[in-house]
Structures are given as structure tokens and as C-alpha cells.
Amino acid sequence: MADSTPQEDLWHDDPIYHNALREAKFITFLWTCCFFYTVIYCYLYGYLTHESLPSSTGPAVGQVVGLLESFNRDPQSVSYPLGLGIPDWVFYGVVLPWGVCVVISVWYCLVMFVEDDLSDSAGETEESTA
Amino acid sequence: MSETSTATIVTFLVYIAVVFVLAGLSHRLLTKKSFMSEYFLGSRGLGSWALAFTFAATSASGGSFTGYPSLIYSYGWVLALWIASYMIMPICTMGVMGKRLNQIARKTGAITVPDVLRDRFESTAVGLVSASTIIFFTVCNLVAQFKAGALIIEETFNLPATWGYLGGLFVFAGTVIFYTAYGGFRAVVWTDVMQGVVMGLGVVILVPLVLSQAGGLTAVNESICAQPPTLVTSMKQVYPDGNSTFNDLYVKAIGDLQPAGLTYHHPKQPNQSLKVRWSEQSDSFIEVTLATNVSGRTTSTGNDVRAALEEHPSLSQLVEVGIAFDNNEIVEENGQHVSKGATGVIELDPDKKPAKFVFIRGDEAIFGPGRSSSGAPFHPLGMAISFFFMWAIAGMGQPGTMVRLMAFKDSRTLKRAMLTVTVYYSLIYLPLVFIFVAARTLLPYIPQESSDKAMVLVATRVVSELGLGYQILAAIFVAAPFAAVMSTVDSFLLMISSSLVRDVYQRTINPKVTEKVVKWASYGTTAIVGALVTIAAMRPPDFLQYIIVFTGGGFAATFLFPTMLGIFWKGMTKQGALCSMIGGFLIIVGLFVPSMFGGSRMNVCGFHPVLLGLFGSLFLAITVSKLTGPAPEHLVRRYFDRPKKDYDIAKANTESLS
């Protein structure tokens, strides 16, 4: 009976691989969200000038999204949310997402992360050459 | 000797003594367990705290306590964006590959990263290329780190210039080689834990002390904004006899008209007098043409320039010129005379461009992109994008961190370590921004050439004035960069000896080597590599920061995608892995070559070379694997599948492996 079973039916995806892949995809998604939010927010609202050097990235971005000079920040316009003394663009662009990231990281570790049994993987050649 | 320096020296000595004790304890464990697995991987038994702190301390090289504070002091709040990807770095660097890498390392019995790659792709070539790359980048990095360690000891113990560097180098090398060679991985991890705790506690205690002295961050920002536009003419000269002069003029724009900056010109003719020209228009440069002697060499000193500016009819109303220290103040540093004033001759090469300095407004430290004294933007968009990749993504590709992911005990350990490092990084890296932005008002004139000592200066001048207890804290801060350098060096030393002993010798040349030979080869290799690096560091290159960035980028471009795709993508082939590694290596080396000869690295389209190396490596990995695929079925089965439980597992394994 077993001998007639097709090879594909004898194997299935390693559950640890499956879980690790799912977790890696989630972290990559989270990194992507942080990357786009933080870099775009800080560049638009935290920069006094937007680049004009010929080789820089700014003009290339400008060609796609329009002129960025209108986002040049007026130094007098700085505010300090919650009276913490942290400039508004740093607070909303870095500190706030940092806090959210910490919360999501804790949630990820406590809820999403699967405590797979890795010792189950050992044994084929574990320390055989040691 | 001051009280603070005594406290510093005592702290150093206690620290080194504790390191030796930890090495001794670790060595005792070596005799009880399988040597190679214990020596290079701690028998895969790292607990949560050990994993968290060895991970954090190894990532934090000397740069975290020297270069990073210096950049914050110089450029202000934009460093919050520069470091922003640390918000996600712990779960990126540990969570993406940790579990899977650990699983595959257990499955194959791998002890090193090249071990994992060699087994995953069943390719000796992949193993050897990865081992060779590790050796290349690690040696480059170690020379830089050894120099940093030697300089810290030279400065801390105030050793004379004639032999201070070499003395510092031998003390540093002797300490780190001994405890690494003798204690192995576990000694490295234990010292990392100690160093990580010291660094973390130090920052947490320093934040309220500095902020309360500065009057709070809002007051700090208002003070910074109120500072008039200032330029600093960084023209330090070091003479052949070792004596030096700073020649840092601080020029403040105090009038209605504001010049754009100041340039020093060489007249390119002999016997010229000092001339100052300005077109009396805002945004035009003050042109200073230096005086020359009969042989055409410049003769003007900083004081001459200062006097000329003060005597200029219109400029004297518009700018205020000063120096960071009392004029003509000469101090003894490391046995040499250092003129803190502006008494030295400003030497210019007639064949080079004029030296250009621009006025930087105070409010430029509140916003991005920041400007250097030459006016170049510090953190333009391309760099903002690149650095978000650099810390979190390139951080995943460091073999030093990967090997730690192969060493933890179980999944729960990884989970707890991620939580710990997430909190730890939040307590360290953002608060450092607060501390050193505040330092701009507490210590307003740290010359640019001294800004790498910002941490030390804040610790000694701000904290140590509070009393003896705080002097000990200050001493710990002075020792923190030393601890950070050591925790990086020890990991790298082990990495290079594991590559040589395990990957090259045991797995390629002599697989039947006895454990006794392996043992002495491991001790010997660690010690010999350390000694060779020490010899290389006796005449070290000047561009240390370039080397550290170069090696970090090189590791990421070489190892990230071959490893990540190797453990997650069934279609990855050994040809794809090889091309990805070699391609990433060549891109990074190619883009950094100009900096090795004193030029600037090549930032294509405004992006950092690391980004290009990563994308090049990824492109090659996928393209070549698609072209050379599919991957061998037995490898896919072995690393991605499991036999069904209702089937004869042993038989399935036998069939697949045959």
C-alpha cells in the first residue's frame, strides 16, 4: 500500500518553515509601513529645503509627485506637541511610530509568534562533526 | 591626575578584571562539553537575557557611543530620522530569520554561517566563498576596531604620544585576544551581557541628569534657534614633531547683512599679504586670501585672519570672531603641545580647491537635512531612504548577528529576547538624541575635531560635577565606547577563527581531524589572527569610519539574500547563491574603492552603496536561480518539507537522501 503512494503525498510543508515564513512576511510588511510613513512624513514636514543637487534623489521624486518646494519648512513654525520639547516633525514622524512599533512588536511576540519546537529539527547531523 | 580620571582608570581596571574572570568561568565549561559547538556556538544554549544583550552589544560597536553622539551634536534632531529604523530593527534582525536559521543550523549541525550555506546548497564552493568573504571583511573591520580600542586606552590613561598608541594597542589586543581565545563564545556572550547592561543603565541615568541641567528640551530648542548663524573654520594642523594647532575660528553673523560663508584661498604667488574681500551683499562669501612667503607657502595664522576680519570696515560690524578656547592657550595632550587658540599657520595646497565654510543657522539643528561646515546636506532624501534600509535590513545580513541566531536555546528564548531588545533599543537610541541635542547648549563649543568625544565630554563636564557617585557613572560612560568596541571585536575574532578552523580546515581540508587538534587549532587561530591584526593596526589607515561602514555594508550585500532566500525560497539554487554573494561583494568593493584612496565613496543617484549592493545581490540571486533552477528535489525535501507522520519516516528519509 505504502509503496504505491505517490512521493508528493508522503511530504508536506514543514510547519516551522510555514510559521517562520508567515512571521517574516508580517515583519516585512510592518517594516514597509514604517519606512514609507517615517521617511515620507519626515522629508515633507521636517526639512527646511528640498534638494536641488543634480545627482540627488529629490528632483527625481519631484518629477513624479510635483514640486516639493511648497513643503519647505518655515523655521518659525516649529511646535512641541504635549510640551515634551520634541519638534513636531520628530514627534509625529519618529517618536509616535516608534511607540506604535514597540506596541506592535510586543503584540507580535506575545500573540502572533509561534513557539515552535526547534529541538524537533535536531538530530539528522546535529554536532556530528563537532 | 584629577579625581575623575582616577575613577575612570579604576573603572577600566575593574572592568578588565571582570572580563578575565568571565573568561575563566567560560573556559571551565569548555572542558565539559563538545569543544567546537561550545567554543564557537555556546552549545546552542543561549538564554533570553544572554541572547538579547549579546545581540544588542554586538550590534552597538564603538560608533554608538562615539560617532552617533558626535553626529547628533553636530547636526541635531535630523539624527532622529537617521536612526529611525531602530524602531523596527529588533524584530527585523531577530524575527525574520531567527527561527528558521536556528532550525536549519540544528538540522545540519552547522556551527558557522558558511556551514549553513554549504549544507543548504550542498556546495563546497558556496562554503569557501562565504568563509573567504568573512575573513576579508572581518580582518578589515578588526584593524579599524583595534585602532579605536588603542586610542581609547591611550586617551584614558593619558599615555605619552611617543609610545601611547602602541601601548594602548598592546593592552587592548592582549586583553581581548586572551579572553576570546581562552573563553570562546560563551565568554564573549557573558561580557556582552555585562557591557550591554552598563551601556543601557548609563543612558537611562544620563537622560534626566542632562535634561534637568539644560532646563528641558523646549528651552534647549529655543536656545538653539536663538543662536546666530555661525561657521567654524576647522583647520587643524599637525606638525612633523607631533605638536598641533586647532585654528578653529568661530565666526558669527550678527548684522543685518549675512554673508554666505568664508573661503580660504591660496594666492598661488610668493610674497603676498593677507587680504579679505567681501562684496557687501548677503549670500556672498567672505574671500580670505592668505599671505605667503618667498617660497610661496602660506604664513597667515588663525589670529591673523581674526584680526583682518575685525579690522575690515564693514565686516567688523557684521561678524563676531572668536575661538573655542582662550587665545594662545597651549595644553599638554599625550605628551605633545596642542595650541587650542589660533596661533598656527593655516596651510593650504595651492593646487587644491579653496577651503570653504558656510554659515549654519541655529534652527538648522531643529530640522533636516542638516548641513556640514562645507555646506553639503547631511541627510538628503537618498540617505534617509538608504539608512532606513541600512540599520534594519542590512542589519539582518551580518554574520555576527546570524551566528547568535543559531545559538539560542528555543523559540521562547527568541521571543523573549526580541521583547527585551525592542525595549532596550527604545531606551538607548532615542534618548541619546535628547542628550546630545541638549549638550549643544550645555557645551556649546566642542570643536569639530573633538566632537567624537562628545560622550566623554558630557560625562566628565556635566555629570562628574554632581558628586562622587556621579563621577563613577561618568567613568562608566568613558568606558562605554571601550566596552562597545570590545564586544564587537571579540565576536569578529571568533568569527574569523571559526571560518578558518571549521569552514576551511575541518570541512574542506581534513574532515577527520581529531577534537584535540581542533581545540588547539581554535585557540591558536584566534590568538594568531589577533596578533596579525595587532601588527596591521600598528600602522593603521586613517579612514576608520569608512572601513567600518564598508565592512558592514559588505557583509549585508554578500550574506543577506543568499541566506534569507536560501532558508525561505525553495527555488534558490547554489549558482544563484554564489552569484548573489560574489555580485554583492563586487558592487560594495567597487563603490567604496575611491574612499580607500582618500576620495569619497560613490553614491549612485544619491543612494548609499549598501542599498545598491543589496539590490544587486537580490537581483542576481533571483535571476540566476530562475535560470539554473529548479533546485534539487532532495534539498527542497530536506529543508522545506517533512514526511507525513503516518508514513514510515525513516524510509522516507532514506529515499530522499539517496
**Residue pLDDT, tens place only, B464-518:** 666 666 667 777 776 767 777 777 788 888 888 888 888 788 888 888 888 788 8
Chain A residue nearest residue B406, CA to CA: A118
Q: Which positions 202-261 of B are in contact with A (Cβ < 8 Å)? A: 216-221, 225
Chain A interface mutation, best of B411, B440, B522, highest count of A Cβ atoms under 10 Å:
B411
Q: Which residues of B touch A21 (CB under 8 A)?
A: 100, 568
Give me the mean pLDDT over the B527-550 stretch.
Answer: 78
Q: How does residue B325 score in pLDDT terms, banded at 50, 70 and 90?
A: low
CB contact under 8 A, A90 and B81: yes
- The pLDDT mean for chain B works out to 82
Facing B411 at nearest CB: one of A12, A49, A118? A118
CB contact under 8 A, A43 and B368: yes
Chain A residue nearest residue B363, CA to CA: A75
B198: closest CA among B415, B424, B417? B424
Q: Which positions 97-136 of B are in contact with A (Cβ < 8 Å)? A: 97, 99-100, 102-104, 106-109, 111, 119
Angle between the N-to-C axes of helices B113-121 and B633-640, in degrees from 0 to 180, rounded to the nearest 10: 130
What pLDDT shows up at residue B642?
Answer: 79
CB contact under 8 A, A105 and B91: yes
Q: Which residues of B touch A74 (CB under 8 A)?
A: none
B152: closest CA among B514, B607, B481? B481
CB contact under 8 A, A48 and B364: yes
What pLDDT shows up at residue B650?
Answer: 47
Give me the mean pLDDT over the B446-450 stretch.
Answer: 61
pTM more than 0.90: no
- Shortest Cα distance from A43 to chain B (angstroms)? 7
Q: Which of B70-74, B112-116, B426-430 has the lowest mean pLDDT?
A: B70-74
Q: Which residues of A touch B423 (CB under 8 A)?
A: 102
B175, B498, B561, B46 alpha-carbon torsion, rounded to 10°: -70
**Checking phi first, is residue A83 left (phi over 0); if not, alpha (psi -120 to 50) or beta?**
left
- Shortest Cα distance from A2 to chain B (angstroms)? 8
Q: Which residues of A touch B283 (CB under 8 A)?
A: none
A121: closest CA among A15, A47, A30? A15
What pLDDT shows up at residue B220?
Answer: 93
Chain B residue nearest residue A47, CA to CA: B368
B70-75 long-range contacts (CB < 8 A, ≥24 apart) are B70/B451, B70/B452, B70/B453, B70/B454, B72/B432, B72/B433, B72/B435, B72/B436, B72/B437, B72/B454, B73/B436, B73/B439, B73/B440, B73/B446, B73/B451, B73/B454, B74/B370, B74/B448, B74/B451, B75/B365, B75/B370, B75/B378, B75/B379
Q: Which of B81-95, B187-201, B523-537, B555-569 has the lowest mean pLDDT?
A: B187-201
Q: Which residues of A touch B637 (CB under 8 A)?
A: 11
Q: Which residues of A touch B220 (CB under 8 A)?
A: 85
Q: How does residue B43 score in pLDDT terms, banded at 50, 70 and 90?
A: low
What pLDDT shows up at residue B60?
Answer: 67
What pLDDT shows up at residue B151?
Answer: 77
Is B95 part of the contact surface with chain A (CB cutoff 8 Å)?
Answer: yes
Q: Which residues of B touch A19 (CB under 8 A)?
A: 99
Assign A117 to helix, strand or coil. Answer: coil
What pLDDT shows up at residue B332?
Answer: 54
Q: How does residue B556 score in pLDDT terms, banded at 50, 70 and 90?
A: very high
Tally C-beta pairs within 8 A across A and B.
261
Q: How far is CA B646 from the centre of its chain?
A: 53
Q: How far is CA B407 from the centre of its chain?
A: 24
Q: Which residues of A touch B216 (CB under 8 A)?
A: 85
What pLDDT shows up at residue B281?
Answer: 75
Q: How does residue B339 score in pLDDT terms, banded at 50, 70 and 90?
A: low
What is the ipTM score, two decimals? 0.86
Chain A interface mutation, best of B88, B435, B440, B653, highest count of A Cβ atoms under 10 Å:
B88
d(CA B479, CA B16): 11
Q: Which helix or strand (DSSP H or E) is residue B287 part of?
A: strand B285-289
How many CA atoms does the CB half-sphere of B107 hold within 13 Å? 24
Q: Which residues of B touch A106 (CB under 8 A)?
A: 419, 422
- Shortest Cα distance from B582 to chain A (angstroms)? 25
CB contact under 8 A, A78 and B412: no
CB contact under 8 A, B35 and A58: no
Q: How far is CA A13 from CA A9, B414, B569, B644, in A?
A: 11, 22, 12, 10
Q: Is the pLDDT of residue B646 over 50?
A: no
Each residue's pLDDT tens digit, B84-113: 999 999 999 999 999 999 999 998 888 889
Give me the mean pLDDT over the B604-610 stretch.
Answer: 82
- Shortest Cα distance from A41 to chain B (angstroms)? 10
CB contact under 8 A, B381 and A115: no
Is B347 part of the contact surface with chain A (CB cutoff 8 Å)?
Answer: no
Q: Is the pLDDT of residue B284 over 50?
A: yes
Residues in chain B: 658
Facing A10 at nearest CB: one of B34, B430, B647? B647
Give me the mean pLDDT over the B1-29 stretch.
Answer: 74
* B356 beta partners: B263
What pLDDT shows up at residue A58?
Answer: 56
What pLDDT shows up at residue A53?
Answer: 53
Residue reference for cell 529548479: B630
CB contact under 8 A, B88 and A17: no
Each residue's pLDDT tens digit, B353-367: 888 888 888 889 999
Q: Which residues of A touch B88 (CB under 8 A)?
A: 27, 30-31, 34, 101, 105
Chain B interface mutation, best of A12, A47, A65, highest count of B Cβ atoms under 10 Å:
A47
The answer to whether B395 and B89 are in contact (CB under 8 A) is yes
Pairing of strands B285-289, B330-333: unpaired
Per-run averaged pLDDT (10 residues), chain A, 130 residues:
54 86 96 96 91 58 65 88 93 97 96 86 45
Q: Is the pLDDT of residue B154 over 80?
A: no
In chain B, % of residues over pLDDT 70: 85
CB contact under 8 A, A20 and B568: yes
Which amino acid belongs to residue A44? L
CB contact under 8 A, A102 and B225: no
Each residue's pLDDT tens digit, B112-149: 899 899 999 999 999 999 999 998 998 888 888 888 78
What pLDDT shows up at residue B49?
Answer: 84
Q: Which residues of B touch A105 (CB under 8 A)?
A: 88, 90-91, 418-419, 422
- Shortest Cα distance from A70 to chain B (angstroms)? 15
**Regarding predicted confidence, which is higher, A50 or B579?**
B579
